């Protein structure tokens, strides 16, 4: 029978609980989230149960990763709903601190990961990845996980966190999980809640475009410009604006020129706006499944 996880709000208290479990020989696995949990998050929690004896989920809408004018105030918050969803997924503890606890007014340290944060979303959301890296480092320090699980939908975030743990010798194994999609291919996201019915139906252009690119890649096309063409043309007609649609190296996130040829794997990452909602998605050709699997996939 599934047990409702215990909510802890105080960093010292959750650290002591995790220390006690470690002293008994248990390993701790963390799933950092901002709540508004959907099936994508629950998949991360289920995965976490296979990496640690004690699964901790953090739920914290982190103000430091939102710029002024972004959706920090609007971001959906419903802890009671989240707790109901977490019970069957295998989380033992939920860490849900307040903003004041995590950012006391005299806090003055930020972690900035250079290089990999400059392109893609980093170019459009200044300060965002410093906010992400700082909160994730704080969560690692408070909880002390052996393993932490993140979704590949936030592909750049995952690479930033991998780099931070490597650069700062953090003893945490980072696991990246495949994007979970709706039946029509749209990547699950807490922000999908913002979309009207009409906007939601336009959003299917994103997975359709990425799927068309997968099909081209599978037929042997390697020219970057040709691989980007279907995703650009699908999205251009459906979205209100495009922050970026970029082909890049999946490890360094260095963008590839139009004339370049894709390697064995190639990242296509994008951020677009539909109405007021900013949606991101990505796929690694040669590695990920198509967002809309055909009969052979």
What are the residue numbers of the active site?
A: 41
Beta-sheet pairing, 266-274 with 277-285 = antiparallel
Largest Cα–Cα separation, the chain: 57
CB of 241 to ligand PAF, least distance (A): 22
Q: How far is it, in rounded angstroms, from Cα 54 to Cα 155?
A: 26
| 62 binds ligand PAF per the rule CB under 6 A | yes
| 32 binds ligand PAF per the rule CB under 6 A | yes
Rounded to 5 degrees, what are φ and ψ at 273? -120, 135
Q: How far is it, in rounded angstroms, from Cα 106 to Cα 28?
A: 30
CB of 22 to ligand PAF, least distance (A): 23
- Beta sheet of 266-274, edge-to-edge order: 241-248, 266-274, 277-285
Judged by CB under 6 A, which of 54, 89, 132, 266 binds ligand PAF? Answer: 132
| 33 binds ligand PAF per the rule CB under 6 A | yes
Site residues for ligand PAF, window 64-123 (CB under 6 A)?
65
| 34 binds ligand PAF per the rule CB under 6 A | yes
DSSP letter for each residue of 243-282: EEEEEE-TTT-PBPPTT-B--SSEEEEEEEEETTEEEEEE
| 177 binds ligand PAF per the rule CB under 6 A | no
Query: Closest Cα partner for 55 from 86, 82, 90, 81?
Result: 90
Q: How far is it, in rounded angstroms, from Cα 26 to Cα 235?
A: 47
DSSP letter for each residue of 9-33: --HHHHHHHHHHHHHTT--EEEEEE
The pattern of x and - marking residues 245 through 274 that bind ligand PAF according to CB under 6 A reads: ------------------------------
Indicate the residue among 125 and 214 with the shorter CB distance to ligand PAF: 125
Interface size with ligand PAF, residues (CB under 6 A): 10
CB of 190 to ligand PAF, least distance (A): 8
Indicate the residue among 42 and 256 with the shorter CB distance to ligand PAF: 42
SS3 159: helix
Judged by CB under 6 A, which of 44, 116, 121, 135 binds ligand PAF? Answer: 135
Indicate the residue among 30 and 238 with the shorter CB distance to ligand PAF: 30
| 142 binds ligand PAF per the rule CB under 6 A | no
CB of 292 to ligand PAF, least distance (A): 24
Decide: 285 and 295 in contact? Cβ < 8 Å.
no
Site residues for ligand PAF, window 195-214 (CB under 6 A)?
none
* Residues found near ligand PAF in the complex (CB under 6 A): 32-34, 62, 65, 132, 135-136, 154, 157
């Amino acid at each position: 029978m599934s047990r409702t996880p215990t909510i802890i709000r105080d960093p010292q208290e959750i650290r002591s609980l995790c220390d006690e479990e470690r002293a008994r020989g248990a390993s701790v696995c963390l799933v950092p989230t901002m709540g508004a949990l959907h099936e994508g998050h629950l998949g991360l929690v289920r995965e976490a149960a296979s990496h640690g004896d004690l699964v901790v989920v953090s739920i914290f809408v982190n103000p430091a990763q939102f710029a002024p004018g972004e959706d920090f105030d609007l971001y959906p918050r419903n802890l009671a709903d989240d707790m109901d969803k977490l019970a069957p997924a295998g989380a033992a503890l939920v860490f849900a601190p307040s903003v004041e606890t995590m950012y006391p007014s005299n806090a003055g340290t930020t972690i900035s990961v250079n290089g990999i944060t400059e392109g893609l979303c980093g170019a459009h959301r200044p300060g965002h990845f410093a906010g992400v890296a700082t909160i994730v480092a704080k969560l690692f320090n408070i909880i002390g996980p052996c393993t932490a699980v993140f979704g590949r939908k936030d592909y750049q975030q995952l690479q930033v966190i991998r780099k931070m743990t490597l650069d700062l010798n953090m003893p945490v194994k980072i696991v990246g999980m495949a994007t979970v999609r709706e039946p029509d291919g749209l990547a699950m996201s807490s922000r999908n809640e913002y979309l009207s019915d009409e906007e939601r139906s336009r959003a299917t252009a994103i997975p359709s475009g990425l799927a068309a690119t997968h099909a081209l890649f599978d037929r042997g096309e390697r020219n970057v410009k040709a691989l980007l063409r279907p995703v650009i043309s699908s999205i251009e007609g459906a979205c209100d604006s495009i922050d970026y649609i970029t082909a890049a190296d999946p490890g360094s996130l260095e963008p590839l020129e139009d004339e370049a040829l894709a390697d064995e794997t190639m990242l296509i990452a994008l951020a677009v706006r539909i109405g007021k909602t900013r949606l991101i998605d990505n796929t690694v050709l040669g590695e990920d499944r198509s967002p809309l699997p055909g009969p052979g996939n």
